[in-house]
Structure 1
Amino acid sequence: MINILKQLFKSEPKPDYSELLKNGGIIVDVRTKNEYAAGHIKGSKNIPLNSLNHNLAKLKKKDQSIITCCASGMRSGSAKSILKNLGYTNVHNGGGWRNLERKIS
């Protein structure tokens, strides 16, 4: 049981988000349009989580670095899982957008 829990909650090394962006990566903000309008990371794409499956054309390459973000990291974690299950190979949960913004500045 403990091994299963360790596998479920194992942490991956945090990538250098700035480096991913310099090399053609994108930020996908999965908050609602109203949340996004109230503040967001410059240059990020707003694709709300509930419409992610219908907007995959906005994510052109399945091997492109994609950093998901939201308000706290929960929805962006879900978005990462969805994208990984759809064959996107280089997806990272950036967590809350304000914290991510500090990391890439």
Structure 2
Amino acid sequence: MGFLSFIFGAKKRQVAYYIEQGALILDVRTQREWDKGHLENSVHIPLSDLNNRVNEVKSLKKSIIVCCESGVRSAKAAKFLVLNNIDAINGGGWVKIKNNL
């Protein structure tokens, strides 16, 4: 097993663990991207709105798996949520999560 396989395998296991524990999936893509397709039962809050809606996320009282198109915006969002005392991880691209459900 190569180093990258180990790293990406660990991320996949972490996402699977969070899903098993009842985590909520938060999609931070734009409205246009969301309208083209998204994960069933996920919550949509565009990254540009997250700062103003962080209390809404806190009120959910759930761990969060953040997704976007490629994982860049979700990484920023997950870091922001953690800094606001919310248990959150970067799930990466939503299609990858969908394929692992």
**Post-superposition, which runs of at least 4 consecutive aligned residues in structure 1 deviate over 4 A?**
none
Q: Percent identity between the aligned chains?
A: 36
The answer as to 2:76 corresponding to 1:55 is no
| Aligned-residue CA RMSD (Å) | 2.0
The answer as to 2:92 corresponding to 1:91 is no
* 3-state SS of paired residue (1:68): strand
What TM-score results when the alignment is normalised by the length of structure 1? 0.77
* 3-state SS of paired residue (1:28): strand
Unaligned runs of 5+ residues in structure 2 are: 1-6
Compute the displacement of 1:51 (Å): 0.4
Unaligned runs of 5+ residues in structure 1 are: 1-10
Do the aligned partners of 1:26 and 1:67 also contact (CA within 8 Å) in 2? yes
What TM-score results when the alignment is normalised by the length of structure 2? 0.79
Do the aligned partners of 1:17 and 1:103 also contact (CA within 8 Å) in 2? no
1:43-94 deviations in whole A, cap 9, x for unaligned?
11010001001112332256x2100000000000000111111111x21101
Report the count of equivalent residues. 92
Larger Rg: 1
Higher helix content, 1 or 2: 2
